[in-house]
Amino acid sequence: MLFPQIRLQSTFAQTELQIQKPIQQIEQPKADLSMEQPKAELVMQRTPGRLTIDQTQAREDMDLKSVARRIEEAAQLGRRDWLEGLARVAQDGNEMMRIEHGGGAIVRQAKRNSEGPPKEFNIGWIPSHFSVKIDYEPGSVEIQWQERKPVIDIVVNKPVHEYTPGATKVNMANYSSLDIDFENLRYVGTGGYEQKI
């Protein structure tokens, strides 16, 4: 006995993808940097120290006198001796005016004029202490400066960005299909009618 059969044969649909990858390029240019350092300003004012050494008195103590000093001393000594001589002659004259009163004026004058003053001796230092005069004025340094800040210029460059977007194309590689086939299929109607389908 033959049974009726229905045969189904199907194929699945198949898609095809065509993918184009995206392209991205990023470039970062370096920043433009300009740097300048101005020189600092420095002003110095210097007053030199001053050392004064006066050794005039020390040289005079060692009898190393200048000509002007010797002339001055000789003039003073001459004036003093002249005044002393004048006073002595006047004193001697006054004593001689009163000779009649007695008292030995001539003897005193002879003794005084024949003998000098008593000699004196003492320890001395040549040159004498503190005969060299030293004076010192210290110097000074005045410093003024003005600093200069660096001049920095920066130009930031933006990145260069190029982007090509990707694409995907979808195509049908195979369409789906369904085949239907009948086997041993008959139509039996009324009155004994029978037909093969």
Flag whether 174 is in a domain.
yes
**Rounded percentage of the chain residues whose pLDDT exceeds 90:** 42
For the chain, the domain total comes to 1
**The model scores a pTM over 0.85:** no
Flag whether 125 is in a domain.
no
Flag whether 86 is in a domain.
no
Flag whether 4 is in a domain.
yes
Residue 43 pLDDT > 90: yes
pLDDT tens across 144-180, in order? Answer: 989 999 999 999 999 999 999 999 999 888 888 888 8
CB 37 within 8 A of CB 148: yes
pLDDT (0 to 100) of residue 1: 59
Average pLDDT, the chain: 86
Q: Cα(182)–Cα(187) distance, rounded to whole angstroms?
A: 12
Flag whether 128 is in a domain.
no
The domain of 182 spans 1-37+149-197
Flag whether 12 is in a domain.
yes
Flag whether 76 is in a domain.
no
Flag whether 103 is in a domain.
no
